[in-house]
Amino acid sequence: MEEKAVYTFDDLKNWGEAAKGLNPPARLSVFGDPVAHSLSPQMHNPALTAAGIESQYVRLHIQPEELKDALRELPKQGFIGTNVTIPHKAAVAEAVDEVDDLAKKIGAVNTVLVEGERLIGFSSDGPGFQRAVREEFSVDLRDLRIMILGAGGGAGRAVAVQCAVEECERLVLVNRTAEKAQELADELSPYFSDERVSGPVDRLQAVPWDMAALEEQMDHIDLIVNGTSLGMKRSDPPLLPHRFFQPHHLIYDMVYSPPHTRLMSDAVSAGARAANGLSMLLHQGAISFEIWFNQDAPLAEMRRGLEEALQKKS
């Protein structure tokens, strides 16, 4: 039987039949709606082969009303675990039997481990971001003054919680819907009770999506993170005016397609350093692998798989 690009909930319920011809058997997946665009199989399958694990990773198109039942099918159908993507990350945190501490703080799960009949939820987005920043800029979050654009979105929130848990030097939360950034700042305030930076700025701030307010922050920020959904299309407006960027800035754009976004090129032309979101995608995947198999992930194979998949896409 030929492998399908996307399986459905009906397939999952009849997995013995639907996945009969798959060799090695599919025992890992990503749930999403939509899910056809997910590059996770191209990243995880080379890793599974390299590690000699007799399983493969498939896409499952699961709609919100199917989610709870689909999760309960995993142990029945012999799955090791699954990733979950848009729009399920928050709902899965409510639906599994146990959620690890970090995922609880984030309020979202992107990795599920099956342990007997039980489902355990984790979030690898924040730790993946942390490793990505380390890889790209050779620096730890705790040593940085960080501004997150889109802090009220799912990915922005995961990254903000990670920065807080790591007790970064300074955290500035920015979101188009300002209340979400303010609520998150209130929630994260216990992590910033120590006075670590002296000067004219607060250690933790929610700043409105207002260019004058953002410009005032630029001297007091090292790392600017794009966690908004802007940057994927050529027609998207610039996130920040070119004049804001300074040579000491580091830019982490969570967008990875296209590989050079407008934000990145504007920053680089001002002498700053910039990286796209591929490394975060890679490292969050590697952390999922570590959760499922309790061993290091074959990072080079995963990276190669992702790069090839992106090249084919472009």
Nearest residue (beta carbon) to ligand NAP: 153
Shortest CA distance to 302 belongs to which of 286, 290, 287?
A: 286
Q: Decide if residue 302 touches ligand NAP (CB under 6 A).
A: no
**Interacting stretch for ligand NAP, rule CB under 6 A, among 64-72, 146-154, 189-197, 287-295?**
146-154
Find the binding residues for ligand NAP in span 67-86 (CB under 6 A): 86
Alpha-carbon distance of 26 to 20, in angstroms, equals 9
> Does 284 interact with ligand NAP (rule: CB under 6 A)?
yes
Per-residue buried b or exposed e for 100-122, using 16+ beta carbons within 10 Å of the residue's own CB: bebbebbbbbbbbbbeeeebbbb
Closest by CA to 283, choosing from 294, 301, 296, 299, is 299
Q: Of the ranges 10-18, 30-38, 154-162, 183-191, which one interacts with ligand NAP (CB under 6 A)?
A: 154-162
Phi and psi based region of residue 52 (left: phi greater than 0; alpha: psi -120 to 50; beta: remaining): left
Q: Report yes or no: 278 and 310 within 8 Å, Cβ to Cβ.
A: yes
In the complex, minimum distance from the CB of residue 12 to ligand NAP, in angstroms, rounded to a whole number: 23
Question: Counting contacts by CB under 6 A, is residue 227 touching ligand NAP?
Answer: yes
Residue 154 binding ligand NAP, by CB under 6 A: yes
Q: What are phi and psi of 241, to 5 degrees?
A: -65, 145
Is 13 part of the annotated catalytic residue set? no
Nearest-angstrom CA–CA distance, 22 and 281: 26
Does residue 310 touch ligand NAP according to CB under 6 A? no
Give 119's strand partners: 114
CB under 6 A: which stretch of 35-43, 45-53, 217-225, 229-237 binds ligand NAP?
229-237
Task: Decide if residue 241 touches ligand NAP (CB under 6 A).
Answer: no
Q: Which is nearer to ligand NAP, 11 or 125 (CB)?
A: 125
Q: Known catalytic residues?
A: 89
Residues that bind ligand NAP (CB under 6 A): 86, 125, 150, 152-156, 175-177, 180, 227-230, 232, 254-256, 277, 280-281, 284
